[in-house]
Structure 1
Amino acid sequence: MDAGALAEDWLAAFRAVPRELFVPDRIWPGVADGSRQTALVDRAKDPVAWRAAVYSDVPLTTQWDDGRHRGDGLGTRPTSSSSMPRMVFSMLADLEVTAVRDGGRALEIGTGTGWNAGLLAHRLGGGNVVSVEYDATVARAAVANLRRAGLEAAVVVGDGRLGHGAGGPYSRTVATCSVGDVPYDWVRQTEDGGIIVAPWGTEYGGEAVVRLIVADGVASGSFTRSSAFMRLRQQRLPRPPFAAYLRGRAWPADGVRSTTSLSPAETGGWLAQFVIGLRVPGVFWRAERYGEKADGAGEADGTGGADGGGAYTLWLYSADTASWATADVVPGAVEFAVVQSGPRALWTEVEAAFRWWDRAGRPGFERFGLTVGADGQRAWLDRPGEGSWRV
């Protein structure tokens, strides 16, 4: 591939396991950064466009709203997809599947269309691949796709958080959905020296692929690159209604006013969100543009796109509904109005996290890491151990 993600040792698998055998007739192609989906492409109506989408380096949404959406338009939430090829092969490279000894086994969490399971089966042999899928309808389609490609893998319908202990231990474990909490069952089921690769992100936003090496019941390693995957269904983050925060009062309610010299727009990048989320647990945000309701009616999605393109208000919310804050962005301003309410001063926490990152030289994803043990998760910068913190 032009992007360089498809190494020579995966080229044979790419050719032997063509993506088109794993893509349904109706798809909604995404854009390369995973931020949105485009209009439906129906193979029966436009086979040329369908094939062009399949062999483009973009994700393809194959299910909306856990299968409830039936129309031609976009649904509310994409819930199953064929991941973009560049990310698929980058994660396989992180997994170092080519180094697995004969008889080594792989566990996949999130079967989806079955393409990734097919690539693993081509490399390791179908009897050495177990893939867990929560959605039974998606799992049946994946099995049919694998058979059509002449491949086998054990596709198990179940809760991905639990892995599949009966098939272990595994040399490699890979998640094709994002998590905010790496289940310890994945660590227990991966052998010493084995590798776990998973997209990981916080409630606040931002996400990156983490590569963990297992040793003595602990998995630890660095993040490798940014990512944007659908969340493991059992770890979807609930968003309280915005009305739960002001409790029927008009803004600023009981909020305490102050100002800051840090533009909230600077906190809106994908990497900045990732770092803030590492340092500020249990918080999410939205951007309120002029003309929107100031009382926050509706549901939060945490993806409002605080890009500084104009005037807007950044709202911060604690997951327990006890605290909130606003910070106004005005183009050209050097001071920005802040209002904070509740036991946590959320803007103060966010600003402190951002300035900590800034003082460190704004390190990228690859300088951060994660350690997962029986007692939970800890994040770190540059090296594990002293200086790590619980996430």
Structure 2
Amino acid sequence: MTDPVNTSQQAAVGGLLRAVGDALGGPVPAKWGDAIGAVPRHRFLPERIWLEDGKGGYEPCDLQADSGRWFEAAYADVPIVTQVNDGETPEDPADAWPSSSASAPSIVVRTLRELDVRPGMNVLEIGTGTGWNAALLAHRLGAGRVASVEIDSDVARQAWASLNAAGLDVDVRCGDGAEGWNRRGPYDRIISTCSVRHVPWAWIEQTRSGGIVLTPWDNPMLCWGLLRLTVERDRAQGRFSPHSAFMLMRDQRHDLRIFRDVVRDEHVPAESGTALSPWKVTGDQWDARFALGLRLGDVWTAWEDDEERLWVATTDARSWAAVDRNGGQFTVGQYGPRRLWDEVEAAYRWWEGHGRPAPERFGLTVTGRRQWTWLDHPSRVAGAVRR
């Protein structure tokens, strides 16, 4: 006799695999397709998830109250917010902001494919989240081969319960992922499910020579990109690729707002003009934004009044610039020790002068003392050197 529940789940998994294959431009690799079928995504989601409300915010969706919508979201190729406001449920859903999520399955498969794991390898995951990514790895590698670190105790507890219920042997530790998990190292692979602006040296120290560290990348200008580093004796280096956007590691976050933290009534900006449209360095100009983010390091942007004014500021909140449309030109106001719009213009000219490079032409080198981004070759420094 046919089990309708199992049949429905199989159909949902099949639909998800087709959607992931469409996103990847080809079939899901068999080893990961088998894993997705063996560890169903919905079994790693909390009963309450948060879905986009169509107004730029999020609204709760509960399994008991709306099982159809909940199950449909579980098997759609979309990210799902699983926690808001670091676990503090807001009184008004309009005040909800994502703090933990289940990544879109196509992104999960893309990153696992880049990780290039093989039987017998030991893997450390930074950011357990729902536990589904660790479950896929454990299904592929076997018992005792996967460890995971999660900073949020409630998230870690729920992930461990889901992994245990699935019969998967994954060590889950509640702690700061930036520190890795030295007791279980060295690892053949380290994969982060949260983005970073600075690669923790502990990850490099805990990876075998020849091993790989794979992490989503973020800079204040744009959260976008995947970084794949190969570990050498005293350093690690590798290149970026596009296609990923993950939540930033908690201890690297900045909660900055223009009028609360940056601009003051007593500030008197220096005024000038520019021919560079602010839309060329924002919006859908992904390659430009990525390159400018690497070049400038600590600069972020925000739009005001339905994209009538672009604000540019530093993460230390000491310098800012505002760009307004003025006919076919733009007026600029700049304040602070740095002339930020001048820096943006110079970085944009640099990007254009080097052939408008996409993320794949950029790389990063990490040592115990500093790390720097480069264009085409490690000797061609492209961005701020971070210590």
| TM-score category, normalised to shorter length | 0.7 to 0.9
Identity %: 44
Distance 1:149 1:74, change over 3 A: farther
- Residue 291 of structure 2 corresponds to 275
Q: Structure 1 residue 16: deviation in Å?
A: 0.8
SS in 1 for 2:217: strand
Residue 133 of structure 1, aligned match among 143, 147, 150: 150
Match of residue 74, structure 2, among 51, 54, 61:
54
SS at match of 1:113: coil
Q: Tell me the residue number matched to 1:314.
A: 310
Contact 1:59 1:84 in 2 (8 A): yes
Q: 2:47 pairs with 12, 25, 29, which one?
A: 25
Q: Is residue 294–residue 382 contact of structure 2 (8 Å, CA) maintained in 1?
A: no
Q: For 1:224-239, what aligned pairs fall within 5 Å after superposition?
A: 224-239=241-256
For residue 161 of structure 2, give the secondary structure of its aligned residue in structure 1: helix
Amino acid at match of 1:91: T
Unaligned runs of 5+ in 1: 291-305, 307-311
3-state DSSP of counterpart to 1:156 = strand
User: TM-score, normalized by length of structure 1?
Assistant: 0.87
Partner of 1:293: none
Provide structure 2 residue ranges, at least 5 long, that are not aligned to the other structure: 1-20
Q: 1:44 aligns with which of 46, 59, 64?
A: 64
The structure 1 residue matched to 2:348, chosen from 345, 354, 364, is 354
8 Å Cα contact 1:121/1:128 also seen in 2: yes
Q: Distance in 1 between matches of 2:261 and 2:245?
A: 29
Q: Does 1:217 align with 2:234?
A: yes
Matches within 5 A, 1:285-324: 285-289=301-305, 312-324=308-320
| Post-superposition offset of 1:321 | 2.9
Instruction: Measure, in 1, the Cα distance between the counterparts of 2:176 and 2:364.
Output: 23
38, 50, 55: which one aligns with 1:16:
38
Residue 122 of structure 1 deviates from its aligned partner by 0.8
Q: Counterpart in 2 of 1:374?
A: 368
Which residue does 2:13 correspond to in 1?
none
1:30 touches 1:58 (CA, 8 Å); kept in 2?
Answer: no
Q: Work out whether 1:193 is the aligned partner of 2:210.
A: yes
Aligned equivalents of 2:221 and 2:324: distance in 1?
Answer: 18
> Which structure shows the higher helix fraction?
2
C-alpha offsets along residues 64-122 of structure 1, whole Å, 9 cap, x if unaligned?
0110115683543211111110000100011001xx352x2000000000000111111
Of the three residues 109, 132, 135, the one matched with 2:126 is 109
2:377 maps to 383
Is the Cα contact below 8 Å between 1:371 and 1:379 reproduced in 2? yes
**Number of residue pairs matched by the alignment:** 360
CA distance 1:340–1:241, change in 2 (3 Å): closer
3-state SS of 1:372 partner: strand
- TM-score normalised to structure 2 length: 0.87
Cα distance between partner residues in 1 of 2:97 and 2:59: 14
Q: What is the CA deviation profile of residues 238-289 of structure 1, one whole-angstrom value per residue up to 9, with x for unaligned ones?
A: 426635544333xxx4211111111011110333222111111222221111
Contact 2:130/2:155, CA 8 A, preserved across alignment: yes
Partners of 2:253 and 2:74 lie apart in 1 by: 28
Residues 206 and 63 of structure 1, relative CA distance in 2, 3 Å threshold:
closer
Q: Which amino acid aligns with 1:95?
A: L
How far apart are the structure 2 equivalents of 1:44 and 1:238? 34
Answer yes or no: is 1:96 the counterpart of 2:110.
Answer: no
1:258 maps to 272
Residue number among 154, 159, 166 corresponding to 2:183 in the alignment: 166
Pairwise CA distance, 1:166: 0.3
Distance change in 2, residues 1:243/1:72 (3 Å): closer
* Greater relative contact order (CA < 8 Å, ≥ 6 in sequence): 1
Determine the C-alpha separation between the residues in 1 that align with 2:57 and 2:166. 27
1:87 corresponds to which residue? 107
Partner residue in 1 for 2:4: none
Aligned-partner SS, 2:59: coil
CA distance in 2, matches of 1:230, 1:222: 20
Which residue is equivalent to 1:363?
357
- Match of 1:126, SS? coil
Q: 1:16 to 1:244 in 2, by over 3 A?
A: closer
Counterpart in the other structure of 1:153: 170
